[in-house]
Amino acid sequence: MHNPKVNIDTDLVRRLVEVQFPKWRHLPVSPVAFGGWDNRTFHLGDEMTVRLPSAAHYALQVEKEHRWLPLFAPLLPLPIPVPLAMGEPADGYPWHWSVYRWIEGETAKTGHIADLRAFALTLAEFLVALRRIDPTGGPGPGQHNFYRGGPLTVYDGEARQAIAALEGEIDAQAATIVWEAALDATWHGSPVWFHGDVASGNLLVKDGRLSAVIDFGTSGVGDPSCDLAIAWTFFEGESRETFRSAIAVDDATWARGRGWTLWKALITAAGRIDVNPAEIERARRVIDEVLADHEHWA
């Protein structure tokens, strides 16, 4: 199905809020510093944000967050987004959208973090707590989260095509070995909750510490190995070792985590995702980190 192109700007948000939530019509609307790719985010006054999916496949995530995040919040050791209202399609905008309470904090950058090992430990503890939440009725892998929580085989073709496209630019043989090791590390566990996109942009820092985890759009119930990607995209050395120890997963789950990380880095480096040159270079560094980690633990 063709996804319509939608111009999401402050004027649209202002009109949607004015009609659907007139009690907030007096509040100013302004874009946040980084509005994200999957969704566009805007300040609504000083204490709220408006979040609008940018395409149909992201719109599937709205009702999921409204259903589950209020149940998660009291069971987790860090703040998460609080849904306040769900908007309806209107005024040329075709999907449901959300109003959330604003959470203070800066997106995670190493320069903002006082102790990266403590940060890794806190994040691991959060993810362990998330895995302990009762998964009954939770959404399994599917279009709503791009099949995270399911088997890596769904991306086997993409990964191998990207490896072939990067021949001569990366160690294609080593990448194939790591990818096949991830495929062979079959998951046999019981389904658990996972976040689905544990990336620096979804981790907030305040006073040098991890202060909140946001954007549960790709969350679901299944294999939690996709949540390990942060080990190679953000941590290194001692902080990665701290994270691995605290997250308490077996070698097979760690191998699948490498697989999820490698797949995303491969398709980014191969130009299958529309990103800037800096992101492509970063993806190549992540590939190197994943391959070196496999070699270290093999």
State pLDDT tens for residues 43-86.
Answer: 999 999 999 999 998 998 999 999 999 999 999 999 999 999 99
pLDDT of residue 217: 94
At 173 the pLDDT is: 98
State residue 12's pLDDT score.
97
**Secondary structure of residue 167 in the 3-state scheme:** strand
Q: pLDDT at position 35, please?
A: 60
- List the pLDDT tens digit at each of the 298 positions of the chain: 344 568 899 999 999 999 999 999 999 999 998 666 689 999 999 999 999 999 998 998 999 999 999 999 999 999 999 999 999 999 999 999 999 999 999 999 999 999 999 999 999 999 999 999 999 999 999 999 999 999 999 999 999 999 999 999 999 999 999 999 999 999 999 999 999 999 999 999 999 999 999 999 999 999 999 999 999 999 999 999 999 999 999 999 999 999 999 999 999 999 888 778 899 999 999 999 999 999 999 7
Residues 6 or more apart in contact with residue 202 via CB below 8 angstroms: 107, 195, 213, 214, 215
Q: pLDDT above 70 covers what percent of the chain?
A: 97
pLDDT value of residue 203: 97
C-alpha distance across the termini of the chain, in Å: 44
CA distance 155 to 295: 23
User: Which domains are delineated in the chain?
Assistant: 10-101 (3.30.200.20), 106-297 (3.90.1200.10)
